[in-house]
Each structure stands twice: as structure tokens, then as C-alpha cells.
Amino acid sequence: MDLNYSAADRAFGAEVRAWLDANLPPDLKAKVLNHRRLSKDDFVRWHKIMAARGWSAPSWPVEWGGTDWSPTQKHIFDEECARAGTPQILPFGVNMVAPVILRFGSEAQKRHYLPRIYDCTDWWCQGYSEPGSGSDLASLSTRAERRGDRYIVNGQKTWTTLAQHADMIFCLVRTDPEVKKQEGISFLLIDMHSPGITVRPILTLDEDAEVNEVFFDNVEVPAANLVGEENKGWTYAKYLLGHERTGIAQVGRSKRELEFLKRVAAEQQAGGASLMQDARFASKVADLEIELMALEITVLRVVSAESHGKGPGPDASLLKVKGTEVQQRLTELMLEAIGPRALPFHIERFEEPEAGEVIDQLAGYYFNFRKTSIYGGSNEIQKNIMTQMILGL
């Protein structure tokens, strides 16, 4: 297994780097690199720039706008985007529901939804978790009852990321309560502007409403919005989660944040020395860097396997666990590096900080990353999955 980049791969990386340096708006780059909050307009603006270049959905089939890049090129592309400080192409449309539609959807669904996902005409959110169904997702209770050419949906979803901006939601709903719980679930595409839908924000520790509760009260959904077969949604949900978990590792972003941590820790302290000159703190940073290097090698192994036609198995869970642990450890060391300056949390500076005040919102950044080990299937559940798939227990 050769984990080194070829000359062609390096040339591809240089091409991507040059284009990003020339086309990434400076205000968006500054927001990302300085940990400022991004607005809906920020995400949409960058998505449309990438769509115009033909790079908003690299993994899609070419006939639907994909790039036909190799897995290695896709990895390099993600690395270069992280290095440059681009806003993220939000995964809910491009990387989550789109693969399900491509694999299991009807031709009519592909023709209607895929172009609108590609250029961010529609903003998507995910309707999986419920107040009583998170890690045990199959126990969900949101009900969809078939009445003629429509489903009537009642229930509640929670922790729905950025639902306040969404035009569409892909939802797991129970269509048959009489069978084994995994066998009575269907996959519906629901217009968020439908009568009967209420979105209520959940204010988190970083004083943001990134996640929401979504309530369905007799919401009418055309039967044509059912993806695949009725009661086969659990199969489609597992397919989607494999795509989600592999992408959560975010090695490129963590490498960028590690350099940020080193810069902050290298600043001169009140006594004249920098924190990086403290052997104990330097050891913590070194340990984390080793973990990140090991994670990157694992990602490259997965990329190499994909290049030979092998899809991710338990590796998806492994990348999710280790990737989120590294991300959380980075934010912990950032707070340790700035010391007492981590105490104040100025929400107004988090929105639009002035020059020289980057560190004032790192507490909010830390709080936000507490959730990474939970979403996409909690890390504890991922460890169970790895045990079952690798050890057969």
C-alpha cells in the first residue's frame, strides 16, 4: 500500500491551491481562520462560488456534476480547502441526502433535487434524532400515515442542525408500528415551509442556536417524496451514516488548528517565556500531534483502499471516534494556552471581533466542539459497532 502522493497528485494539489488563493473572498477566509461565526449568506455565497467552478460536489457521478476525481484527489482537495480557510460546504445536502437520492431515489427525484442541492438553491437539514431516540435511532416515533397520495406526519425531531435556515429536511419516520422497529421506518423528503412545521431553537453553551427542535403537526407530504420503498428507510439511513461518519474526521481542519494552537502558545507570556517553552505543555502538544499524524495515516489508508474499490467498513466509525477526540483535545489546549483570557466570553466579538481579539471567542469555540463526539452516532456507540464488525462480539 503506497501512501505517498504521486507527481500528478502534487500537481493537482498545486492547481487547487492556486485557485483557492485567487478565488476565496478575504472576508470569508478571515472569518474561518479567526473562528468567527458564519452566517447563512456566508455559506451560500461560498457554495455558489464552488458550484460555478464545478467543485461543489466532487464525489457525485459526472453526469450530475461530479468531478471524476480519484479518492486521493478528493482527499487532497479537502486538505487544500482546510489549509486555505474556506467555509465548509455543508454536508446535509451534498454529502448526506444526495448519495441516498443517487443510490435509491427515483429519476424524478434526481432531476428535481440534485441540481438544487448542487448550487445550494435548497438548504437541507437532517431529521433523525428525537427526544427519546438518539443513539438508539431505530426507536424513533415520528409517525407518517399514508392517506391516498400523501403522508400525514406527526412527531418531533431534535438537535436538528441549522434547521432555522432550511428549505428541506430528510426525515426518518415510522410507517409501520407493528413490525420489528428497524423494519417499519421510511425515508421522506419534507418541505420545511409546509403548514404544520414549527422550528424552535435550542440555545447551547456557546450562546448560539445552531441546533433546533422541529415539530410536525399533521404535515402533509406528497407520497412522491418517499425515497425508495416504504419501510426500507433503515437501510438508507445506514448508507447515509457511513458517508457522514467518514467525513467527520476533518484531518485537514485539525492540522490547521494545530498550527493555530502552536502560534498562540508561542506568544510571550508575562514572565518573558512562551508556553511552548514549558516542557509539560509542549509534551501535551506533541502527544496531540502524534495522534493527529496517526489519524492522517489511517485516513490515507482508507483513501488508498477506496482507490482500489473497497468502501469503508468499521474504518468509518474509527475515523469518527479518533477525529472528534482530536478536535476536542485541540480546543481544550487552546483554552489552556490562553489561560485567564479564556474566562470572558464576549458574544459580540464572536460575531464580529475586532483586530487582535481573536482569542476572545475561543471559549465559545471550545463549547461548540463538545458535541462532536455525540453527533453522527455517539463515540460510545461507534466503539460498539467496531467491536461487532472487527471482533464479531
> Which pLDDT score is estimated for 20?
98
Residue 139 DSSP code: G
Beta strands in the chain (DSSP E): 124-127, 143-147, 150-157, 168-174, 185-191, 197-202, 211-222
Other Cβ atoms less than 10 A from the Cβ of 298: the count is: 17
- Tell me which of 230, 244, 257, 296 is the catalytic residue: 244
Domain with CATH 2.40.110.10 in the chain: 124-231
> Which pLDDT score is estimated for 267?
80
| Bridge partners (DSSP) listed for residue 169 | 125, 190
CATH second-level architecture of 248-391? Answer: Up-down Bundle (1.20)
Amino acid at 232: K
**Rounded Cα gap, residues 98 and 60, in angstroms:** 8
Domain with CATH 1.20.140.10 in the chain: 248-391
Pick the CATH number of 124-231 from 1.10.760.10, 1.10.645.10, 2.170.130.10, 2.40.110.10: 2.40.110.10
Q: With beta carbons less than 8 A apart as the criterion, state whether 312 and 246 touch.
A: yes
Q: With beta carbons less than 8 A apart as the criterion, state whether 163 and 170 touch.
A: no
Asked if 354 is an active-site residue, the reply is no
From the list 58, 55, 61, the residue with the least C-alpha distance to 103 is 61
CA distances from 194 to 96, 219, 391 (A): 22, 7, 46
> Which pLDDT score is estimated for 355?
44
> Which pLDDT score is estimated for 71?
85
- SS3 call for 308: coil
Residue-wise pLDDT tens for the chain (393 aa)? 556 789 999 999 999 999 999 999 999 999 999 888 899 999 999 999 999 999 999 999 999 999 999 988 998 999 999 999 999 999 999 999 999 999 999 999 999 999 999 999 999 999 999 998 877 888 999 999 999 999 999 999 999 999 999 999 999 999 999 999 899 999 999 999 999 999 999 998 888 889 999 999 999 999 999 999 999 999 999 888 765 555 678 899 999 999 999 998 988 665 677 889 999 999 999 999 999 999 998 888 877 776 666 666 677 788 889 999 999 999 999 999 888 777 766 666 555 555 445 565 788 888 888 888 887 778 887 788 788 877 776
**Reduced to 3 DSSP states, what percent helix, strand and coil does the chain have, rounded to the nearest 5?**
55, 15, 30
> Which pLDDT score is estimated for 356?
46
Q: With beta carbons less than 8 A apart as the criterion, state whether 243 and 231 touch.
A: no
- SS3 call for 227: coil
- Helix axis angle, 40-53 to 26-33, nearest 10°: 120
